[in-house]
Amino acid sequence: MLERLLTQIFEEHRGKAIGVIIGLLAAILFLSFGFWRALFIILCIIIGYFIGKRIDEDQNFNQWIKKLFKDS
């Protein structure tokens, strides 16, 4: 019964459900580690997501890193 309810909520209100989960995780991080440490953790997660997304999309990761850190 609970599984069916959660599935229905996630299918009909996906954006709200994801927003609530992200908000809950952020609150736990802020309370556990403090503002700046939690912000650093969130930043690392975001950077990791974008790196993983680039790898999943089969883009040339080495060229992207070289372009990111090239000499100006």
Please name the helix (run of DSSP H) or strand (run of DSSP E) that holds residue 67, with its range, or none: helix 61-68
The token duo for 58 is: 């089969």
Contacts of 9 by beta carbon, 8 Å cutoff, 6+ apart: 17
The yes-or-no verdict on residue 72 having pLDDT over 60 is no
Q: What does the pLDDT look like over 9-66, one tens digit per residue? A: 888 888 888 888 899 999 999 999 999 999 999 999 988 888 777 777 766 767 777 7
Give pLDDT, residue 11. Answer: 86
